[in-house]
Amino acid sequence: MMSLKGKTALITGAARGIGRSMAEGLAEIGANLVLVDIDAHALTAMGVQLKAKGGQVFTRAMDVADPASAEALKVEAESHFGGVDVLVNNAAIGPESISSRYLTDRAKFWEVSDELWLAMLRVNVFGPQLMSRTFVRPMIERSWGRIVNITTSLDTMYRPGIGSYGPCKAALEAASRIMAGDVDGTGVTANVLVPGGPVNTRQVPSENGLPADKLIQPEQMRAPLIWLCSDEADQINGLRLIARRWNPQLPLERRLAEASAPVAWPQLGAQSVFPSTQP
Ligand SMILES: NC(=O)c1ccc[n+]([C@@H]2O[C@H](COP(=O)([O-])OP(=O)(O)OC[C@H]3O[C@@H](n4cnc5c(N)ncnc54)[C@H](O)[C@@H]3O)[C@@H](O)[C@H]2O)c1
């Protein structure tokens, strides 16, 4: 059984859903937790429950896209746990904020308010950028760290009816590839984790007609996340893992073959061609 004892994981959007489940999974293997959410009430309740089970937990209600809050959090995390080793960028404004029936009654792009379109861009793309740039330097100084960005399946990136949610996840996917390149060789890695389909959280309201018990359950995200935090994944950088296909019973090579791909879309092949700078 892998242990994260002595290491600290920061999970954003940890008050419910996938973030909450990932936090519980990391608590079970001994990680100290810094949990962040904009919903103060739900976050406090979550923190109390984890502490009652013996977890080392620090909660901070904040907006992941607010630079002053991110800086204050860095100071608090350092004073509580000596810093952050694992950052999971999970918080997002979901498609259900456009319409609770977004899979059946699809809003046209001209029907989505500018405010919501931009709010998604701010939280779902700038949020991970801000949190990553705030916490990555100490990881590089310690020559160990993990950044895990939660994006989504390719077809959701261009699914109609969900405003900028899909394009934001595509942007985060591209940003993740840049992050992976920038941290390469430092001991820090940046990877993407996706569920691989709709998950049983408030992002998939029952009005859409999908049976909750047939959806991916949030707990499925735990095993691939825990593996990404392990020493076995020290050299794994710029990879996207698909939780639905992650089968811990398989030998590692086959598991990765079935449940991973490079971050972003290098296989599309339409790479830009630069003119030679040689005379
Ligand atoms: N549920 C799915 O089907 C699904 C599928 C693919 C990817 N994802 C992604 O997985 C992640 C978790 O999704 P979920 O289904 O658990 O969603 P959720 O809505 O249940 O939880 C998201 C959490 O993020 C918090 N949050 C929102 N804005 C915030 C902000 N500005 N600052 C801090 N916290 C904020 C919310 O309060 C909420 O607790 C998201 O990135 C989501 O896009 C979800």
The domain spans of the chain are: 8-268
Residue with the bigger pLDDT between 273 and 116: it is 116
pLDDT higher than 70, residue 270:
no
> According to CATH, what is the number of the domain 8-268?
3.40.50.720
H helix or E strand, kind and range, residue 222? helix 222-228
Mean of pLDDT values over 103-132: 98
pLDDT score for 272: 78
- Is the beta carbon of 123 within 6 A of some atom in ligand 1? yes
Residue among 29, 24, 36, 35 nearest 7 (CA): 29
pLDDT higher than 90, residue 43:
yes
Report the 3 state secondary structure along 12-51.
ECCCCHHHHHHHHHHHHCCCEEEEEECCHHHHHHHHHHHH
Question: What are the tokens at 36?
Answer: 């962040």
Pocket test for ligand 1, best of 38, 157, 203 (most atoms within 8 A of CB): 203
Mean of pLDDT values over 251-277: 87
pTM: 0.97
pLDDT in tens, 54-110: 889 999 999 999 999 999 999 999 999 999 999 999 999 999 999 999 999 999 999
H helix or E strand, kind and range, residue 87? strand 86-89
Ligand 1 atom nearest the C-alpha of 20 is: 16
Nearest-CA residue for atom 44 of ligand 1: 199
pLDDT score for 269: 65
**Contact predicate 220/243, CB 8 Å:** yes
